[in-house]
Structure 1
């Protein structure tokens, strides 16, 4: 896919994509640390987090902070939770953007067989707890990109996650 326009316009697209990649790359660490300032730097005050059926989301940035600061999330962090994200596909539209990516939740596997990896020590390994598709909406305000909403749906072969991915595929097919 090639972008058209002047050199300045194309450079702006590159800068916007890099800024969005940086914001989204910060998410796994913000979730794995659960630190208020880190979380607040990524999301708008009116941020909405939809985790799909069966999981509590958030209806504001403050609720998102509460979600990562609660006892259950702190227990997951203490248990070795690691969010492992893919590079997102980014759809730019001026000062708005949508990004679609995958996220895997990894946890240490204390019941796994201990193995040695040369030059990296011994480990019982990790297990993939869950893999989700993410759809992020972002806005540029005051020169910086922040997340206004996020939907995560499990990659379990069901329709909702696949439909969300099809919306992204349609955007890129039309270009």
Structure 2
């Protein structure tokens, strides 16, 4: 009977990871479209968004909706904003989880030299505006994973971002 429980636990962990991968993969789409219903469907009611010093964040799902509906964010979207993420490292803890990842903020390079790529048209290219480290806290609510908080720090060589990434680097230390 223990083998069945172990198998059930293992299957639950696989299902949880897949659900969290899908959830975090949806974040760039929600940020780049600014669709309020999308935002409301992936964040907890008391969601906290911490973008570090110098950038405003949000406290509460409604404030996150306000942030992505702001004129400034709409201007960024209209300018070709694209959030490009990597696979996160996920630490499961029952009905909560923590994930660490990077996101590159990419935008069109209107000052770039126009180039043609065979069968793909012409473009002035894109530029990486910045790369950020993310620490996501997730919670299972009503059988579904949601984002409870997110800390975002620029990968600029400064201490705070490196410390946040170092927390994830200990994941395999006890395994």
* Greater mean deviation of Cα atoms: 164-173 or 40-49: 164-173
Alignment of 1:8-157 (within 5 A): 8-157=8-157
Name the CA distance, whole Å, in 2 between partners of 1:44 and 1:84: 23
**How many aligned residue pairs are there?**
171
Name the CA distance, whole Å, in 2 between partners of 1:131 and 1:34: 20
Offset, 1:114: 1.0
Offset, 1:172: 2.3
Q: Could you list the structure 1 runs, at least 4 aligned residues long, displaced by more than 2 angstroms after superposition.
A: none
Name the CA distance, whole Å, in 2 between partners of 1:115 and 1:167: 42
Unmatched segments (≥5 aa) in structure 1:
none
Unmatched segments (≥5 aa) in structure 2:
none
Offset, 1:171: 2.3
Offset, 1:106: 0.6
Match of 1:7 in 2: 7
Task: Tell me the SS of whatever aligns to 1:112.
Answer: coil
> TM-score if structure 2 supplies the norm length?
0.96
Name the CA distance, whole Å, in 1 between partners of 2:172 and 2:149: 21
Backbone CA RMSD of aligned residues = 0.9
> TM-score if structure 1 supplies the norm length?
0.96
